[in-house]
Amino acid sequence: MFIDIACSQKRKYNQNAYGDFFASNRFPNMNRVVAVLSDGLGSGIKANILACMTSTMLLKFMENNSDIEKSCEVIMNSLPVCKVRGISYSTFSAIDCYDDGKAKIVEEGNPDFIWIRNNEVLKPEYQTIQSKDFKNRKMKVYNITLEKGDRIIFCSDGATQVAMGSKQYPLGLERSGLIKIILNKLNNESDISSKDLSDYLVKQIQYIAPNKELKDDTSILSLYCRDPRESLIFTGPPFHNEKDNYWANTFINFKGKKAISGGTTANIISRELNIPVKSHMSLSMGKLPGLSKMEGVDIVCEGILTLTKTLEYLESGKCENNAAKVLMDFMLDSDVIQFLVGAQMNKAHYDPNLPIEIEIRKNVIKKIALVLEEKYLKKVNVQFI
Amino acid sequence: MEKISVKVCTGTTCFVMGGANLQELHDLIPRKYGDKVEVSGSPCLGLCSINWEYSKAPYVKVNEAVVNEATVEKVLAEIDKQIGNN
């Protein structure tokens, strides 16, 4: 099971900074995801600092399995005190969950999370923990087991209190109103991704606000338990030529999406499986060789130049419209990415007379794997062949 | 008369050695020769790795003839030569 997680936010009207803060971390080797959504007191920069401190500290505490009660006391004691109100305050929702479905949720001050299974809202039991140092602060702790298809939605109170005082929503949208919007959307689009759902919900909330002006920062954190989207990228000729056929078959029989990055690699697979590969010059885009086509393969592109550019795009987040962008989108649309990296080198690539320096494939792939894991929270597996 | 096939290598070595400039053949050849010549790309013609110490990339194949250190002019000359032979 894969936990698809995404957060969408909108700022309070006329504010430059978000007063809610979202932080998360994925531990692919432990099949674990930790995420925190915090809402800071007030709005703007002050709220942003409070929420950011709360989220990042709590995330660290949870990652290290610290006692949640003690952790929260430490956080509350370390937040700066607001000059206007004389208190320090931020609310939060936090989840620590594993791919087998076991999840621990802790909430303080935010609206109760929404747990949806088969289009029905579940009502989980919880334990209440009273803060020792702060009278009005109570935490709710849930230990639940998620199943495939389940969704969890967290929100800041900006979402449930939107349009409060209006004729249509005297008490705001409320949790019940938000649930209606979610269930309605899921009825029409049952397998919507977390990102699309959270984007949709914050947009709907903004539509509800009078003049589309939000009176408070609004955040939706969405989790969706589903099968992982797997993909395989084959790059470089295998070291032992006699194994070409084996690896070509391993590649084509892979169930998820498939990409080939490398001209020689594409030719080897084409030869071993007797599937023609067609390169259309007209598909060349920008400063990189264009894409080719092979039946049963989603992307066929050039190797090391495209991979080097893809790495640059993944690191910077900026890209141009070319084969490297296509390859980057392919990676980002997957949850689990596997690389088959052929170890045979084309010596012509390392001719010092080439006008540009060409990186060693192994190194580029290692760097891509690292950025996919650390920045994009993907599960990555690299196999050298 | 059989169609002449032009294959432009879009592999790494050829691309960086000037193959990127050969993309204009895709527009130029149909305009100049109409249906007589068919131009396409190839993921890699595999020629740079054979004699890698003395690679003469970029490579283009005009039917079975290999054009070394190909330029648009050299490719067009080879096509003209083969059309003349036919």
Question: What CATH topology corresponds to A2-226?
Answer: Phosphatase 2c; domain 1 (3.60.40)
pLDDT confidence bin for B85, thresholds 50/70/90: low
**Closest chain B residue by Cα to residue A344:** B49
pLDDT of residue A261: 97
Contact assignment for B12 to A300 by CB distance below 8 Å: no
- Cα three-residue angle A158-A163-A166, rounded to 5 degrees: 155
Higher pLDDT, A305 or A132: A305
CB-CB: which of A304, A346, A355 is closest to B49? A346
Name the residue ranges covered by the structural domains of chain A: 2-226, 230-384
Rg for chain B (alpha carbons), in Å? 12
In chain A, the percentage of residues whose pLDDT exceeds 70 is 98
pLDDT of residue A350: 83
Q: What is the ipTM of this complex?
A: 0.84
What 3-state class would DSSP assign to A250?
A: helix
Average pLDDT, chain A: 91
All residues of chain A having their beta carbon less than 8 Å from the beta carbon of residue B42 are 263, 279
pLDDT of residue A345: 86
CB of A79 closer than 8 Å to CB of A90: yes
pLDDT confidence bin for A285, thresholds 50/70/90: low
pLDDT surpassing 70 at residue A281: no
pLDDT of residue A283: 54
pLDDT digits (tens, 9 = 90+) for A324-351: 999 999 999 898 999 999 999 888 888 8
pLDDT surpassing 90 at residue A255: yes
All residues of chain B having their beta carbon less than 8 Å from the beta carbon of residue A288 are 15
Q: Give the whole-angstrom CA distance, residue A282 versus residue A100.
A: 47
A139, containing H or E segment: strand A138-145
Domains along chain B with CATH numbers: 4-85 (3.40.30.10)
pLDDT of residue A230: 95
Q: Give the whole-angstrom CA distance, residue A50 versus residue A38.
A: 8
Contact assignment for A358 to B12 by CB distance below 8 Å: yes
When mean pLDDT is compared across A117-126, A293-302, B19-28, B60-69, the lowest value belongs to: B19-28
pLDDT of residue A43: 87
Contact assignment for B43 to A300 by CB distance below 8 Å: yes
Contact assignment for B10 to A266 by CB distance below 8 Å: no
pLDDT surpassing 80 at residue A76: no
pLDDT digits (tens, 9 = 90+) for A26-73: 887 788 999 999 998 888 998 999 999 999 999 999 889 888 778 887
Mean pLDDT of A89-100: 91
Contact assignment for B10 to A289 by CB distance below 8 Å: yes
pLDDT of residue B36: 92
CB-CB: which of A300, A305, A347 is closest to B15? A305
Q: Which tokens in the block code for residue A210?
A: 């009078």
Side by side, which strands form the sheet with A257-261? A379-384, A336-341, A230-235, A257-261, A299-301, A292-294, A277-279, B37-42, B4-9, B60-62, B65-67
Mean pLDDT of A77-98: 82
Name the maximum alpha-carbon separation found in chain B. 38
Higher pLDDT, B55 or A302: A302
CB of A275 closer than 8 Å to CB of A260: no
All residues of chain A having their beta carbon less than 8 Å from the beta carbon of residue B20 are 284, 287, 289
Best residue in B12, B59, B75 for a mutation probing chain A (most A CBs within 10 Å): B12
- Cα three-residue angle A371-A375-A377, rounded to 5 degrees: 100
Half-sphere exposure of A236 (CA within 13 A, CB side): 26
Contact assignment for B46 to A267 by CB distance below 8 Å: yes
Highest mean pLDDT among A26-30, A129-133, A258-262: A258-262
Query: Distance (Å) from the C-alpha of residue A299 to the closest C-alpha of chain B?
Result: 12
pLDDT of residue A114: 98
CB-CB: which of A277, A288, A348 is closest to B13? A348
pLDDT digits (tens, 9 = 90+) for B14-37: 998 988 888 888 889 999 999 999
Query: Distance (Å) from the C-alpha of residue B26 to the closest C-alpha of chain A?
Result: 6
**Closest chain B residue by Cα to residue A263:** B43
